[in-house]
Amino acid sequence: MTNAFTLITGASSGIGEKCAIEHSQNRRIILSGRNYEKLDVVRKKCFNSDNHLIWCIDLANKRMDIFHSLSSFLIEYDIVIESFVHCAGITKILPLRNFTPQYVDQIFNTNIFSALEILRVLLKKDNKGTLANIIFISGLWSIRGDIGNSIYAASKGAINSLVCSLAQELAPKVRVNAILPGAIVTPMTENLLLNSELGQKISKDYPLGLGTIEDIVNYILFLLSDKSRWITGQNIVIDGGRSTK
* Residue numbers annotated as active site: 152
Q: What is the C-alpha R_g of the chain?
A: 17
Give Cα separations from 181 to 58, 69, 78, 111, 215 (angstroms). 24, 30, 35, 14, 9
Maximum CA extent, the chain: 53
Between CA 104 and CA 204 the distance in angstroms is: 31
